[in-house]
Structure 1
Amino acid sequence: MKSLRLLLCLAGFLPLALALKAQEVRSPDGSLAVKLSLDGGALTYTVSHHGRTVLEPSPLGLETSLGSFASGLKAAGSSTAKLDERYTLPHGKVREVHYVANELTARFTNEKGDNLEVIFRVSDRDVAFAYRLSGKDRRRVTIQGEATGFNFPAAATAFATWQAKPGDGWMASKPSYEEGYQIDVPVGTRSPSGAGFTFPALFRIGADGWVLVSETGTSSHYAGTRLADPTPDGLYRIALPQPGENGGIGDASVSASLPLLTPWRTLTVGANLAPIVESTVATDVVAPLYAPSQSYVPGRSTWSWLVWQDPSMNEPDQRAFIDLAAAMGWEYILVDALWEGNLGRAKLAELVAYARSKKVDVLLWYNSNGAWNDAPQDPRNRMDTAPARQNEMAWLKSIGVKGLKVDFFGGDKQTTIKLYEDILTDGNAHGLMLVFHGATLPRGWERMYPNFMSSEAGMASEMLIFSQDFADREAQNSTVYPFTRNAVAPFDYGPLVLNRSFHKEAGKGNKRRTSDAFQLASTVLYQSPLQHFGLTPDNLREQPAFVIDFLKQVPAVWDETRYLAGYPGKDVALARRHGDRWFVAASNGEQKRKELALSLPFLAGRTLTLIHDAPEQKAATRQVTVGADGKLTLTLEVGGGAVLFE
């Protein structure tokens, strides 16, 4: 990582309590401002963008075993700094990042004389803040709750997915961040579960303002948090995990040694959705926790389970999908659940050798549990304890497996976050990449843990198999995730199904409502450095050559990502660059045909290949030239999409 320069603007701390009665920190361009206030011993902050309030006075503070840091506070000075850092994200939506921000660190003491620092970092599009706790003679602290909140104007609307109750879902495996979205509802609308909402949550502030709220920097030193159900007037407070999460195992509070730096809460702010899509704040304010043991290779993967399901876990089908990956020039095959019982370890090792002879590497599915859910799929009890995990990983390394997809976690407790960290750390020691399913939101993990690649943490493509209602909303969901879940971290959605039904046999299973062009667009709209595609061997015979050719070319990692157009729930268009090649993707989330006008000044006058909707939801292709003014209009059918590429 390149060096981080801290240029102190004020040396030392301001000694007077009055200095923090109201103090402001602005972004480098002056457009984004945070005002921190201390009134009657309680802290609040406001956020404005170009002088317009986007967050009304909102509470700050912690309740701890050291006493309250939410009331009875006294100011003890402050300092400011300028931050300027360049770093590389080898597996992200953007490769080279330049983070410039202004920082305010405000120091307070509570009634017992212990110290709280509130740290704000403000860039031109993001606000990030965290707490640092320290004590004079105390070594440990328990965080019992937070006063932290986000108070939105009453006219704002929310786009958020609710948290599940512990123990809900298949085999008591929830919460696993796999619930539905409330779309454009008034702030103050409560969750159907009564458990609040998961990060990230998107808010529309009037006609020309957006705020995405999320969390980053969560490690084994803290728990993952969420937004509690709001007050009627739009105050969303931070909530710690529910006691029943993780099968009831572990505390719902947080225990740590001092000094403690909490996770960062982030707000990405924009007049349009471009800052939301393009933000890197989730990785800007964190640092790697260890060096990579080797270079981890992103790539595309075949995956038999999505369409062919559990019966495909046999040697002939897995060899067929290895051959498919080889024919496509893709890097991986994911061998999913039940491989231990159906194939056995000796046969699995033979499959790995066969794949490598075809220049294809193998990723393997694992069950995380332990005692925190009842999911029966094997292999079980290999990831939950250090001796079992390290022995298993040593064997995996010896036979040439390159990565794991670990499933069924069910919670955000500190003990669960520690399990993620332990799996990642041991995985790095054995040269293994990690993807998590049935899992929490990754919070800056693609930078903190260099072998972390992706996570589900959302209603992903597997739900197409389980729910016709979800399949009916596939196009609409594609216009929500780029502005919410996928904006803050890689999303292992598992795109691309070209079968007309979600089943190996034609006509069986749930019906696909989207077009072939939409499915191709999903490979660009969803960002994940390991992309598990639902392509099947039949598709090579069924699809025209231009479809297969596109799928051979589409990358899994990107050097740049740009927002072009869209509104969550209605439509979306994004541009992503890999090297010197641009890929543009769009989809239509509404039940009406539409024209989507794009501005592509970076492609002005250039001739591109367009794959677009054709009759009977098939795909067609033609060459198009972007106007000299950079303007281009796409026609999107119901359930449709389009891709443009050079």
Structure 2
Amino acid sequence: MNKIAFYLLQTFTLIVVLNSCTAPPQKDNVSVTSPNDKFRFDLQIINSEPIYSAYFNNNKIIGKSSMGFNFSGNETTSHNLTIKSVKNRKVDKLWNPIYGEKNQYPEQYHEVIVDFNTTNENIPVFKLNIRAYNQGIAFRYEFENNGEIIIKEELTEFALPADSEVWVSHNAQANIAKRKVSELEDKLVERPLLAQLNDSLFVALGEAALIDFARMKFAPNKEKPGTLVASLDGEVTYDKGFKSPWRTIMAGNTAGELLENNYLILNLNEPSKITNPEWIKPGKVIREVTLTTEGGLTCVDFAVKHNLQYIEFDAGWYGHEYDETSDATTVTVDPKRSKGPLDLPAVIKYAESKGVGVILYVNRAALEKQLDEVLPLLKSWGVKGVKYGFVNVGSQKWTNWLHEAVRKAADYGLMVDIHDEYRPTGYSRTYPNLMTQEGIRGDEASVDNTMVLKTLFVRMLAGAGDHTYCYFNERVDAKLGSHASQLAKAVCLYSPWQFLYWYDKPVKEDQKTGTSGDFGNSITEVPELTFFDQLPTVWDDTKVIQGYPGEYAVVARKSGTTWFVGALNGEQERDYAIPFNFLDPNSQYEATVFTDDKEIKTRTKVAIDSRTLTSKDIIKKTLERHQGMALIIKKVE
């Protein structure tokens, strides 16, 4: 189903919201259960302090944990509290995204808003909003202050079993490592955080709707082995009422179940505020690496030939990105990157005539000084989107600035890709011009499939990730894995803007001058490029067939009646048996299968085979270390 159809369906979405009611508090206890009865959140007042715990299928996944904030003046929200009132609400609705990993998302939850009394007149009055979804639990703090308050630190704890294993990284683009939660170093760890409590119980902790607050990470509590504490990136100040970001707890029997349910993060954000989304268009992107007119025109022709929707000019088109004299309202090529010439208006005009959009990179140094000049100017040039580079993140100031920059881009009909340390918390539901973001350790870092398989089950819980795939660069064979696995990665890792040829250029081997850095690998017309040609970037349905972080994965995604499947293998050779019971049982399919084969006489050594498939079939295949397999499965009409 296409994007416009999604938008029109929003009008006809079934919504059932039961009237809320206020109930008298049940002494010092509140319990909230999800509609499917899988999740439960228990709140207790113990010694005048709020303590919570969480359950999945009657298994305790979060033990007794503290809540609240410390304010300036050493005042604490969590002391001297009693429950004043409890308001209940039930929501059961469906909503249709403009684009997504599915064409429709359920939003079903039971909500309780707990209002507190306190004997301390020096702390602001607050409420605790608790939601139990069918996919997990979320809670946030809601304040009704009239004057300024300053939050010094957050006290929210997440008490995992001490013997849990967790996948952690210390920043958004770092390696992800598997550790015992009780043995974590005294360093902050990123969200989302994935934990394995036993062989069939996985938990994910995260953050949603971070818009004008300070970013949360997790700090180990050395006095309570297994307990993590929310750690804010600096102070938070408000002079009126506010709501904190949501703290999220997901659980499932497999890591794949959590990944399939990652739309919980979107559900915790407000619906789209863009009334006419016609200009928001997902697609595939090739980066132009020569910063020349000739290179730009060649990229446009390649995009037309290979069904790409965008070309992108990266750093250097307006001068050195960190030079204070560089001006993003001019086309002034950085001589350290290219000798030029670059007639950018001519390239944009040519691209427009061919139905190809142009995306431009702008570094934070220019954005912070020139944002209000640059956005309307780029719009007047005919640019379709902007890549915000090396943005400041974390603090309340820069979190607020960045989301305001997304809103300003929407005002000018510009789509956005945010690069480097930013990780999503669902804001693309509210402003779907935020197409994708990095906050990921991608192909630029030459990561192998073992790391990609950690990224898939950990980082991608937060939402779309721009992995900047390359295909012909030497690092594919030397470090990443294989070419078939590069095809499969583009299915497994979701991004509405999918950069497919990050270090590659559609020129002859003898035309390597003027390239960015030493990444001058030319694109060869090998047969398997038909996979990228046919690949969508947004989906009607997504299934995680099997997998385990860092070891293996099989992901299937549907567009119309066609399925795309990606299988990625980690460090150890593995025998795969892939079922296709997700296919229509009443139909027959034709599958095109792409695998690594050293005997194939092409530069990339990818074999292409075809076979018929039904929902009862199983494909068995042995994948060697860091190999992959990709399939296109089309219904036979």
TM-score category of the 2 structures, normalised to the smaller one: 0.7 to 0.9
Tell me if 1:126 matches 2:120.
no
How many angstroms does 1:294 deviate by? 4.1
The answer as to whether partners of 1:521 and 1:585 remain within 8 angstroms in 2 is yes
Aligned-residue sequence identity (percent) comes to 23
Report the equivalent of 2:514.
none
Report the equivalent of 2:127.
117
Tell me if 1:197 matches 2:189.
yes
Q: Given the alignment, which residue of 314, 317, 326 partners 1:339?
A: 317
Alpha-carbon distance in 2 for matches of 1:316, 1:628? 48
Alpha-carbon distance in 1 for matches of 2:491, 2:480? 19
Tell me if 1:409 matches 2:391.
yes
- Equivalent residue runs for 1:186-585 within 5 Å: 186-191=180-185, 194-220=186-212, 222-231=213-222, 233-241=225-233, 252-279=234-261, 280-288=263-271, 290-292=273-275, 294-295=277-278, 296-305=280-289, 312-341=290-319, 344=332, 347-369=343-365, 381=366, 383-385=367-369, 388-464=370-446, 470=447, 474-501=448-475, 511-534=478-501, 535-537=504-506, 542-545=524-527, 547-585=528-566
Provide Cα deviations, 1:545-602, integer angstroms capped at 9, x if missing partner. Answer: 2x12111100011121111111101011111111221111010011x32112223212
Q: Given the alignment, which residue of 84, 92, 96 partners 1:76?
A: 84
Provide Cα deviations, 1:97-135, integer angstroms capped at 9, x if missing partner. Answer: 121111121121233354221111112221111111124
Provide Cα deviations, 1:287-306, integer angstroms capped at 9, x if missing partner. Answer: 1463255420110011144x
How many angstroms does 1:158 deviate by? 0.1
Q: Secondary structure of the residue that 2:607 maps to in structure 1?
A: strand
Report the equivalent of 1:95.
103
Unpaired runs of 5+ residues, structure 2, are: 1-9, 321-330, 334-341, 508-520
Residue identity matched to 2:500: F
Taking a change above 3 Å as real, the CA distance of residues 328 and 230 of structure 1, as seen in their structure-2 partners, is farther
Report the equivalent of 1:249.
none
Residue identity matched to 1:239: S
Structure 1 residues 628-637 or 559-568, which shifts more? 628-637
Residue identity matched to 1:536: K
Count of residue pairs brought into register by the alignment: 576
The answer as to whether partners of 1:27 and 1:33 remain within 8 angstroms in 2 is yes
Residue identity matched to 1:489: G
Report the equivalent of 1:599.
579
Taking a change above 3 Å as real, the CA distance of residues 366 and 540 of structure 1, as seen in their structure-2 partners, is closer
Q: Secondary structure of the residue that 1:542 maps to in structure 2?
A: coil
Alpha-carbon distance in 2 for matches of 1:624, 1:33? 46
How many angstroms does 1:223 deviate by? 1.4
Alpha-carbon distance in 2 for matches of 1:359, 1:423? 27
How many angstroms does 1:230 deviate by? 4.1
The answer as to whether partners of 1:277 and 1:562 remain within 8 angstroms in 2 is no
Alpha-carbon distance in 2 for matches of 1:598, 1:121? 36
Aligned Cα root-mean-square deviation (Å): 2.2
User: Structure 2 length normalisation: TM-score?
Assistant: 0.86
Taking a change above 3 Å as real, the CA distance of residues 512 and 641 of structure 1, as seen in their structure-2 partners, is same
The answer as to whether partners of 2:255 and 2:549 remain within 8 angstroms in 1 is no
Taking a change above 3 Å as real, the CA distance of residues 404 and 541 of structure 1, as seen in their structure-2 partners, is closer
Q: Given the alignment, which residue of 571, 585, 597 partners 1:614?
A: 597
Unpaired runs of 5+ residues, structure 1, are: 164-176, 242-251, 306-311, 370-380, 465-469, 503-509
Provide Cα deviations, 1:259-310, integer angstroms capped at 9, x if missing partner. Answer: 21110111111011233111211111211463255420110011144xxxxx
Alpha-carbon distance in 2 for matches of 1:201, 1:230? 15
Alpha-carbon distance in 1 for matches of 2:543, 2:147? 46
The answer as to whether partners of 2:252 and 2:258 remain within 8 angstroms in 1 is yes
Residue identity matched to 2:462: V
How many angstroms does 1:256 deviate by? 1.7
Alpha-carbon distance in 2 for matches of 1:4, 1:20? 33
The answer as to whether partners of 1:190 and 1:196 remain within 8 angstroms in 2 is no
The answer as to whether partners of 2:472 and 2:522 remain within 8 angstroms in 1 is no
The answer as to whether partners of 1:496 and 1:522 remain within 8 angstroms in 2 is no
Taking a change above 3 Å as real, the CA distance of residues 638 and 407 of structure 1, as seen in their structure-2 partners, is same
Provide Cα deviations, 1:592-626, integer angstroms capped at 9, x if missing partner. Answer: 32112223212256331111121277211212344
Provide Cα deviations, 1:402-438, integer angstroms capped at 9, x if missing partner. Answer: 0000111233111101221221111111110011112
Alpha-carbon distance in 1 for matches of 2:27, 2:381? 60
Structure 1 residues 596-605 or 455-464, which shifts more? 596-605
